[in-house]
């Protein structure tokens, strides 16, 4: 027999469960959040697959070349169920003992660089860390190097993202309050590699090499295998000693360079050698993030306008737009591309643009 007090207890329990159910249904109503178990803000803000429709809108159907001839660079539009199946980094198995044809030379493809590449891929890795793969919803922020990060106090906001992508040799030491100190991935090329990678990164940061020329593969090989360094062929002296664990090095799939050029900037990927226009590492990082993440926020993008020619283009050093001349980057076209992505809601900006 159930005693009266037991009934009371059961009734209380039912009431509590009822309130909890009601609460969980109405949790979106932020007004009540302080009273009960607050739902972590993170979950409420991230929608799985949020970027996917925007990605197909921006990058559309890709050329058939991707689908058949070069299976490792599979497009989202073909066999894959989602953009998450996109191989982000190059793997040895696609180059070792197999002749994987690529339509373009670097930086838009790997044609002609296969031999260099195989030797690099043999000692580096390609996997996406479990800490990112296991996330139900990936919130990413791409931190640009622009002056708008100065005094932004965005450091703690940036640190809260699941994936923080940084560019080139942008420092964090001394700028933590404005740019944070978490670095999940850093995109770089030899000339933009930081001379002291340990100081400006975390112990588990992935170093993602963006190759512009075959020599870039050669550079990383000489570093990792401690071979004779190459001196010529770089527009700026890259580090001769660079202490990074090879397991943390990734080679970015040139697919992202190609689609950023073709789809965001309308650049031809078949260009005469002397022209060689290409996207900046920043635009490339946004492109990568749109394929890797469910939510993409950006910060520190944008260059000073024409009236402020003397203003620095970086938050950490005094260099002006003049230094971009001859770099093969089209600053105004990139601004148009980023504006378009902001307007269609593909990315959200934490700073002004
Ligand atoms: C940032 O703040 C410091 C100190 O408050 C100030 O001296 C400096 O001018 C500010 N820099 C910018 C770019 O606003
Ligand atoms: C970032 O800085 C905070 C505060 O100084 C520190 O506790 C934390 O370990 C740092 N995080 C990383 C990833 O370096």
Portion of the chain with pLDDT greater than 70, in percent: 84
Whether 75 shows a pLDDT value over 50: the answer reads: no
How far does residue 158's CA lie from ligand 1's centre (Å)?
Answer: 20
Residue 14 is predicted with a pLDDT of 86
Whether 244 shows a pLDDT value over 60: the answer reads: yes
Residue 199 CA: which ligand is closest?
2
CA atoms of 347 and 55, how far apart (whole Å): 10
Q: Is 318 in the pocket of ligand 1 (CB under 6 A)?
A: no
How far does residue 180's CA lie from ligand 2's centre (Å)?
Answer: 9
Identify the DSSP state of 142.
Answer: E
Other C-beta atoms lying within 10 Å of the C-beta of residue 306: 8
Residue with tokens 């670097």, as numbered in its chain: 106
**Which residue from 63, 106, 56 is spatially nearest to 81, judged by alpha carbons?**
56
Whether residue 6 lies inside any domain: the answer is no
Residue 17 is predicted with a pLDDT of 85
Residue 306 is predicted with a pLDDT of 65
> How many domains is the chain partitioned into structurally?
1
How far does residue 151's CA lie from ligand 1's centre (Å)?
Answer: 6
Residue 344 is predicted with a pLDDT of 96
Portion of the chain with pLDDT greater than 90, in percent: 60
Whether residue 190 lies inside any domain: the answer is yes
C-alpha pair distances (Å), 98 with each of 71, 115, 166: 12, 12, 33
Whether 32 shows a pLDDT value over 70: the answer reads: no
How far does residue 148's CA lie from ligand 1's centre (Å)?
Answer: 11
Strands (E), the chain: 139-143, 163-167, 185-188, 206-209, 249-251, 295-299, 348-349
Whether 84 shows a pLDDT value over 50: the answer reads: no
Q: At 340, which helix (H) or strand (E)?
A: helix 331-343
Residue 328 is predicted with a pLDDT of 81
Q: For the chain, give the mean pLDDT.
A: 85
Whether 284 shows a pLDDT value over 80: the answer reads: yes
Whether residue 57 lies inside any domain: the answer is yes
Mean pLDDT of 246-255: 96
Residue 149 makes CB contacts below 8 A (sequence gap 6+) with 143, 175, 178, 179, 299, 300, 315, 351
How far does residue 150's CA lie from ligand 1's centre (Å)?
Answer: 7
Whether residue 31 lies inside any domain: the answer is no
| Enclosing domain of residue 62 | 52-349
CA atoms of 333 and 87, how far apart (whole Å): 27
- Please classify residue 54 by burial: count the beta carbons closer than 10 Å to its beta carbon, then call 0-12 exposed, 13-18 middle and 19+ buried: middle
Residue 276 is predicted with a pLDDT of 76
Whether residue 56 lies inside any domain: the answer is yes
Whether residue 3 lies inside any domain: the answer is no
How far does residue 317's CA lie from ligand 2's centre (Å)?
Answer: 23
Top mutation candidate among 147, 148, 150, 315 for ligand 1, by most atoms within 8 Å of CB: 150
Q: Per-residue confidence at 311, pLDDT binned at 50, 70, 90?
A: confident
Residue 257 is predicted with a pLDDT of 94
- Please identify, by atom number, the ligand 1 atom nearest to the C-alpha of residue 150: 13
Whether residue 265 lies inside any domain: the answer is yes
What are 156-183's pLDDT values in tens digits?
A: 999 999 999 999 999 999 999 999 999 9
Mean pLDDT of 235-250: 95
CB burial string 279-298: b at 16+ within 10 A, e below:
bbbbbbbbbbbbbbbbbbbb
Q: Is 201 in the pocket of ligand 2 (CB under 6 A)?
A: no
Question: For 68-82, 111-125, 278-292, which range has the lowest pLDDT when averaged over its residues?
Answer: 68-82
Residue 122 is predicted with a pLDDT of 95
Residue 82 is predicted with a pLDDT of 43
What are 85-130's pLDDT values in tens digits?
A: 558 999 998 888 877 678 888 999 999 999 999 999 999 999 999 9
Whether 62 shows a pLDDT value over 80: the answer reads: no
CA atoms of 60 and 98, how far apart (whole Å): 29
Nearest CA residue ID for atom 4, ligand 2: 181
- Please classify residue 23 by burial: count the beta carbons closer than 10 Å to its beta carbon, then call 0-12 exposed, 13-18 middle and 19+ buried: middle
CA atoms of 156 and 181, how far apart (whole Å): 9
Residue 204 CA: which ligand is closest?
2
Q: Is 111 in the pocket of ligand 1 (CB under 6 A)?
A: no
Whether residue 111 lies inside any domain: the answer is yes
Question: For 42-46, 184-188, 224-228, 237-241, which range has the lowest pLDDT when averaged over its residues?
Answer: 42-46
CA atoms of 336 and 282, how far apart (whole Å): 14
How far does residue 149's CA lie from ligand 1's centre (Å)?
Answer: 11
Top mutation candidate among 147, 150, 151 for ligand 1, by most atoms within 8 Å of CB: 151
- pLDDT top residue among 37 and 260: 260
Whether 73 shows a pLDDT value over 50: the answer reads: no
Q: Is 155 in the pocket of ligand 2 (CB under 6 A)?
A: no
Q: Is 213 in the pocket of ligand 2 (CB under 6 A)?
A: no
Q: What is the CATH number of the domain that holds 73?
A: 3.90.1480.20
Residue 237 is predicted with a pLDDT of 94
Whether 44 shows a pLDDT value over 60: the answer reads: no
How far does residue 196's CA lie from ligand 1's centre (Å)?
Answer: 27
In order, the DSSP letters of 43-69 are: HHH--TTTTHHHHHHHH-SPPHHHHTT
Q: Per-residue confidence at 27, pLDDT binned at 50, 70, 90?
A: low
């Amino acid at each position: 027999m159930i005693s009266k007090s037991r009934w009371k207890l059961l009734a209380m329990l039912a009431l509590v469960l009822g309130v909890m159910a009601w609460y969980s249904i109405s949790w979106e109503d932020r007004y009540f959040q302080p009273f009960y178990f607050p739902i972590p803000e993170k979950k409420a803000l991230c929608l799985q697959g949020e970027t996917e429709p925007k990605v197909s809108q921006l990058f559309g159907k890709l050329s058939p070349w991707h689908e058949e001839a070069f299976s490792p660079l599979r497009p989202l539009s073909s066999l894959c169920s989602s953009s998450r199946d996109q191989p982000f980094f190059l793997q040895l198995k696609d180059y070792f003992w197999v002749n994987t044809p690529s339509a373009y030379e670097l930086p838009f493809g790997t044609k002609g660089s296969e031999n260099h590449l195989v030797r690099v891929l043999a000692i580096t890795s390609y996997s996406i860390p479990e800490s990112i793969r296991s996330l139900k919803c990936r919130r990413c922020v791409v931190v640009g190097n622009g002056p708008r990060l100065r005094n932004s106090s965005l450091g703690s906001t940036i640190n809260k993202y699941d994936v923080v992508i940084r560019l080139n040799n942008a420092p964090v030491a001394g700028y933590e309050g404005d740019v944070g100190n978490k670095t999940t991935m850093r995109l770089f090329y030899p000339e933009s590699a930081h001379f002291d990678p340990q100081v400006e990164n975390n112990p588990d940061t992935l170093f993602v090499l963006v190759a512009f020329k075959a020599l870039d593969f050669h550079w990383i090989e000489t570093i990792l295998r401690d071979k004779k360094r190459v001196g010529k062929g770089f527009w700026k002296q890259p580090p001769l000693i660079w202490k990074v664990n090879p397991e943390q090095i990734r080679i970015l799939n040139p697919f992202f360079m190609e689609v950023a050029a073709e789809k965001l900037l309308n650049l031809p990927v078949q260009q005469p050698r002397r022209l060689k226009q290409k996207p900046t590492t920043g635009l490339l990082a946004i492109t990568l993030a749109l394929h890797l993440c469910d939510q993409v926020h950006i910060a520190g993008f944008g260059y000073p306008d024409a009236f402020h020619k003397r203003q620095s283009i970086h938050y950490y050093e005094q260099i002006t737009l003049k230094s971009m001349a001859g770099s093969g980057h089209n600053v105004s076209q990139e601004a148009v591309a980023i504006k378009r992505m902001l307007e269609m809601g593909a990315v959200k900006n934490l700073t002004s643009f």
